[in-house]
Amino acid sequence: MTTIMRQRDASPAPTEDDRLVQIFDLLADLRSAVYDVRSQLKKRQKPHLTVEELAELVGRSPFTVRRWISEQRITAIRIDGSGPKGRLLIPREQLDALISQGLGAAVPDAVVGQGERQE
């Protein structure tokens, strides 16, 4: 066991600069992985959102989203056949418009249509 300890002690301990280089390398790898995930998510974005999906994304109630539609703050498409009045679908561009108006601050960057939030 003494020889094992001596072999460990014989190798030089990493310096603080070596540790920083390792951390920066790991951060670069993480940044690359996050970029890849964002790219994959962007490819899977739906062109339209339901009232409930939009409400969840912007942190508002479905009632508020329906009110925005009736006030023509956002546009929606009514699809016949699902429910007595049909289903409302909101184009994804409307989410981007809400964000630009400051109504979607809690929306994750990966959901934003441009892939990255403009600040």
Contacting residues for 98 by C-beta, under 8 A, at least 6 apart? 54, 58, 74, 104
What tens-digit pLDDT sequence spans the chain (119 residues)?
555 555 555 667 888 889 999 999 999 999 999 988 887 777 777 888 999 999 888 888 899 999 999 998 899 998 887 666 778 999 988 888 887 777 765 665 545 554 444 44
pLDDT of residue 117: 43
Torsion sign across C-alpha atoms 102, 106, 111, 116: positive
- CA torsion angle for 94, 99, 101, 104 (degrees, to 10)? 110
